[in-house]
A and B are shown apart, each in its own frame.
Chain A
Amino acid sequence: MAEELLKVQNISKSYVGVQALDNVSMSINKGEIQSLVGENGSGKSTLIKIIAGVVKPDEGEIIINGKRFQNLHAIDSISEGIQVIYQDLSLFPNLSVAENISLNQMIERKKRFINWKEIKSIATEELSNIKKELDLNERVENISIANKQLVAICRALTQDAKLIIMDEPTTAITKGEIDRLFSVILALKKKGISTLFVSHKLSEVLQISEKVTVIRDGKLVGVYNTKELDYDTLSFYMSGKKIVDSVFDYQEKERQKEPLLEVKNLSKKGNFQNINFKVQSGEIIGITGILGSGRTELALSLFGLNKPDSGEIYINGKLVKINSPQNAIDLGLSYLPEDRLNQGLFVKQSIQDNAIVTILKRLLNKFRLLSDSKKYKSAKEWVEELNVITPSLEAAAQALSGGNQQRLVIAKWLATNPKIFILDSPTVGIDIASKSNIHNIIKGLANKGMGVIIISDEIPETIHNCNRVVVMKEGRIVKEVDTADITEDELFNILARKNK
Chain B
Amino acid sequence: MIGNNRNIQIRRIFRQNESYLFLVVIAYSTLITSLNPSFLSLENLFDLGKSSAGMGILAIGVFIVLLSGGIDISFAAIAISGQYIAANVLIATGIDNIFFAFLISCSVGIALGAINGLLISSFKIPTLIATLGTLSVFHGALLTIVGSKAINSAQLPDCFKIFGAKDVLILTKANGINYGLSIFTLIFIAVALLTWFFLKHTMLGRGIYAIGGDMNAAERSGFNIAKIQFFIYCYVGFLAGIAGVLHISLIRYSNPTYIVGTELSVIAAVVLGGTRITGGSGTIIGTIMGVAMVTILNNSLILVGLSSYWQNFFVGLIIVISVSFTSYQSKRGIGSIILNRN
B partners with A:
yes
Q: Considering the chains assembled together, what is the distance between the CA atoms of A144 and B342 in angstroms?
A: 8
Most central of B1, B2, B220 by chain A CB within 10 Å: B220
On chain A, the residues within 8 Å of B335 by CB distance are 269-271
Closest to B200 in A: A114
A236 CB-CB contact with B under 8 Å:
no
Instruction: Judge whether B223 is part of the interface by a CB distance below 8 angstroms.
Output: yes
Contact partner of B202 (CB less than 8 A), chosen from A91, A112, A270, A294, is A112
> Is A99's CB within 8 Å of the partner chain B?
yes
Confirm or deny: A71 has a beta carbon within 8 angstroms of a beta carbon on chain B: no
Does the CB pair B339–A270 fall under 8 Å?
Answer: yes
Quick check: which of A59-67, A103-111, A382-390, A426-434 contacts chain B, the rest being far away?
A: A103-111
Chain B interface helix/strand/loop/mixed: helix
Q: Of all chain A residues, which has the CB nearest B212?
A: A94
Complex Cα gap A94–B199 (Å)? 14
Chief secondary structure at chain A's binding surface: loop
Task: Please indicate the chain B residues that have their CB under 8 angstroms from the CB of A270 in the complex.
Answer: 332, 335-336, 338-339
Segment at the interface with A among B56-64, B203-211, B230-238, B317-325: B203-211
B311 near A: Cβ within 8 Å? no
| Bound Cα distance A86, B280 (Å) | 21
Partner of A474, one of B8, B279, B339: B339
Q: A93-B213, A144-B341, A474-B339 are in contact. Are A112 and B203 (CB under 8 A)?
A: yes
A92 touches B203 (CB 8 A): no
Q: Which residues of B contact A169 (CB under 8 A)?
A: none
A95 interfacial by beta-carbon distance below 8 Å: yes
Known: A90-B216, A94-B213. A114 touches B339 (CB 8 A): no
The answer to whether A135 and B8 touch across the interface, beta carbons within 8 angstroms, is yes
Give the contacts of B297-342 with A (CB-CB under 8 A): 332, 335-339, 341-342
Within 8 Å by CB of B281, from A94, A111, A113, lies: A94
B210, A103: Cβ atoms closer than 8 Å? yes
Q: A103: which B residues are within 8 A, CB to CB?
A: 206, 210, 221
With both beta carbons as reference points, the residue of chain B lying nearest to A174 in the complex is identified as B342
Cross-chain contact B223 with A107 (CB below 8 angstroms): yes
Please state if A107 and B222 are interface contacts (CB–CB under 8 Å): yes
Instruction: Report B82-121 residues with CB < 8 Å from chain A CB.
Output: none
Number of A-B contacts (CB under 8 A): 85
Q: Is the CB of B222 within 8 A of A92?
A: no
Closest Cβ–Cβ distance, residue A143 to chain B (whole Å)? 9
B339 touches A92 (CB 8 A): no
Tell me how far the C-beta of A13 lies from the nearest C-beta in chain B, rounded to whole angstroms: 20
User: Does B21 sit within 8 A of A, measured CB to CB?
Assistant: no
**A259 proximal to B (CB < 8 A):** no
Residues of B within 8 A of A113 (CB): 201-203
Contact of B222 among A95, A104, A114, A271 (CB under 8 A): A104
B171 at the interface (CB under 8 A from A): no
Q: Number of contact residues on A: which range applies?
A: 35 or more
CB-CB contacts below 8 Å: A105-143 with B: 106-108, 111-114, 116, 133-135, 137-138, 142
Asked if A133 and B280 sit within 8 Å, CB to CB, the answer is: no
User: How far is it, in angstroms, between the C-alpha of A160 and the C-alpha of B213 when the chains are bound?
Assistant: 25
Return the contact of B220 from the options A90, A99, A474 (Cβ within 8 A).
A90
Nearest-CB distance from A50 to chain B (Å)? Answer: 16
Contacts of A269 in B (CB 8 A): 335, 339
CA distance A108 to B2 in the complex (A): 30
Once the chains bind, are A133 and B2 in contact (CB under 8 Å)?
yes
Complex Cα–Cα for A332 and B223 (A): 52
Asked if B125 CB lies within 8 Å of chain A CBs, one says no
A-chain residues with CB within 8 Å of residue B338 when the two chains form the complex: 270-271, 292, 294, 297, 475
Q: Which residues of B have CB within 8 Å of A93? A: 213-214, 280
Chain A window 272-309, contacts with chain B (Cβ cutoff 8 Å), 1 for yes, 0 for no = 00000000000000000000101001000000000000
Nearest CB of chain A from residue B280's CB, rounded to whole Å: 4
Binary per-residue interface labels of chain B (215-230) against chain A in the complex, 1 for a CB within 8 Å, 0 otherwise: 0111011110000000
Q: By the criterion of a CB under 8 Å from any partner CB, how many residues of chain B are at the interface? A: 34
User: In whole Å, how far is B325's beta carbon from the nearest beta carbon of chain A?
Assistant: 19
Q: Is the CB of B206 within 8 A of A114?
A: yes
Complex Cα distance A269/B336, Å?
8
B202: A residues at CB distance < 8 A? 112-114
* Chain A residues within an 8 Å CB radius of B281: 94
A91: chain B residues within 8 A (beta carbon): 214, 217
Per the 8 Å Cβ criterion, residues 249-293 of B in contact with A are: 279-281
Q: Is the CB of B222 within 8 A of A108?
A: yes
Which residue of B has the minimal Cβ distance to A111? B203
How distant is the Cα of A138 from the Cα of B203 in the complex, in angstroms? 20
Least CB distance from A135 to B in Å reads: 6
Chain B residues with CB below 8 A from A114, complex form? 200-203, 205-206
The answer for the CA separation of A154 and B198 in the assembled complex, in Å, is 26
B209 near A94: Cβ-Cβ < 8 Å: yes
CA–CA, A439 and B192, complex, Å: 61
Check if A133 sits within 8 Å of B206, measured CB to CB.
no
With A and B bound together, what is the CA distance between A435 and B262 in angstroms?
Answer: 57
Question: Contacts A114-B203, A270-B336 given: A90-B221 contact, CB under 8 Å?
Answer: yes
Q: Are B209 and A95 in contact (CB under 8 A)?
A: yes
**A173 CB to closest chain B CB, in angstroms?**
11
Scan B132-160; emit 1 where CB is below 8 A from any A CB, else 0: 00000000000000000000000000000
Q: Which residues of B contact A88 (CB under 8 A)?
A: 216-217
Q: Name the contact of A95 in the complex, choosing from B1, B200, B210, B337 (C-beta under 8 A).
A: B210
Residue pair B213, A90 in contact (C-beta under 8 Å)? no
Across-interface contacts of A133 in B (CB, < 8 A)? 1-2
Do B337 and A142 touch (CB < 8 A)?
yes
Give complex CA distance A392, B202 in Å: 55
Cα distance, A254 to B201, chains bound together (Å): 73
The docked-state distance in angstroms from the alpha carbon of A103 to that of B214 is 14
Complex CA gap A113/B203 in Å reads 6
- Please indicate the chain A residues that have their CB under 8 angstroms from the CB of B216 in the complex: 88, 90
Interface residues of B in 159-212 (CB under 8 A from A): 200-206, 209-210, 212
Closest to B278 in A: A94
CB distance from A479 to the nearest CB of B (A): 19
**Do A99 and B221 touch (CB < 8 A)?**
no
Q: Which one, A86, A92, A107, A475, contacts B209 given CB within 8 A?
A: A92
Closest to B339 in A: A270
Smallest CB–CB gap between B259 and chain A, Å?
A: 31
A138 to chain B, nearest CB (A): 8
Q: Residues of B contacting A99 with CB < 8 Å?
A: 206
Complex-state Cα separation, A47 to B200, whole angstroms:
38
Q: Give the residues in chain B near A135, CB-CB below 8 Å.
A: 2, 8
Bound-state Cα–Cα, A88 to B215, Å: 12
Query: A92 to B210, Cβ gap below 8 A?
Result: yes
Contacts of A294 in B (CB 8 A): 338
Q: How far does the alpha carbon of A144 sit from the alpha carbon of B339 in the complex, in Å?
A: 11
Chain B neighbourhood of A475, CB < 8 A: 338-339
- The CA of A134 and the CA of B88, in the complex, are separated in Å by 59
Chain A contacts for B203, CB-based, 8 A: 106-107, 111-114
26 A-B residue pairs with CB within 8 Å: A86-B220, A90-B216, A90-B220, A91-B217, A92-B209, A92-B213, A92-B218, A92-B280, A103-B206, A104-B222, A106-B203, A107-B203, A107-B223, A112-B202, A112-B203, A113-B202, A113-B203, A137-B12, A138-B8, A144-B342, A270-B335, A271-B335, A292-B341, A474-B339, A475-B338, A475-B339
> With contacts A111-B203, A292-B338 known, what are 18 further pairs, Cβ within 8 A?
A90-B216, A90-B220, A91-B217, A93-B280, A94-B212, A94-B280, A95-B213, A103-B206, A103-B210, A104-B221, A106-B203, A106-B206, A113-B203, A138-B8, A269-B335, A269-B339, A294-B338, A475-B339
Nearest 10 pairs of A and B residues by beta carbon: A270-B335, A94-B280, A92-B213, A90-B217, A94-B213, A107-B222, A270-B339, A144-B341, A94-B281, A90-B220
